[in-house]
Amino acid sequence: MIPKEILDSVIESEISNKTFSSITSIIDKRLENYNDPNVDLILGGPPCQAYSSIGIARDPNRMKDDPRNYLYKHYVRFFKKYKPKMFIFENVKGILTAQNGEVFRNLKRSLSRVGYNVDYRVLNSKDFGVSQNRQRVILIGWRSYYKISYPNSP
């Protein structure tokens, strides 16, 4: 069972230009309660509908005009504001090829501009004891001054 104080700390909100400042205000207030307000890790990923093969197949425009293609930009804003030491970003494999790979190239460039080295792997949940054959892109980023690399997994 998850402790109530952890459940109560979850911020359930759409991330958008309208909500960004209210979300960061909540986070800032919470960080004030810690002796060390630095953020070590951000974990997340934007909704995957714009990059999923099912979403692309169902849309006559192949999701080209879907604004969800660019939700990753809000995550980059969080990285820029909070400067976590590292982040883990998860999404479907289609993010690699969305708009002929341009979305992923732009994501990596944006992350580099805000000070991160990035690397990614396509991992399958079945290789980690999950009873599903589900591939996901796991992108890991770390502040450029750290001399680390993507961890090898068995």
Residues belonging to the active site: 48
CA 89 to chain centre: 3
Residue 57, classed as helix, strand or coil, is helix
Task: Tell me the torsion sign for CA atoms 60, 96, 72, 109.
Answer: negative
Residue 117 bridge partners (DSSP): 142
CA gap 54, 151 in Å, rounded: 31
**Is residue 104 a contact partner of residue 98, using CB atoms and an 8 Å limit?**
yes
Residue 73 phi, psi (nearest 5): -65, -30
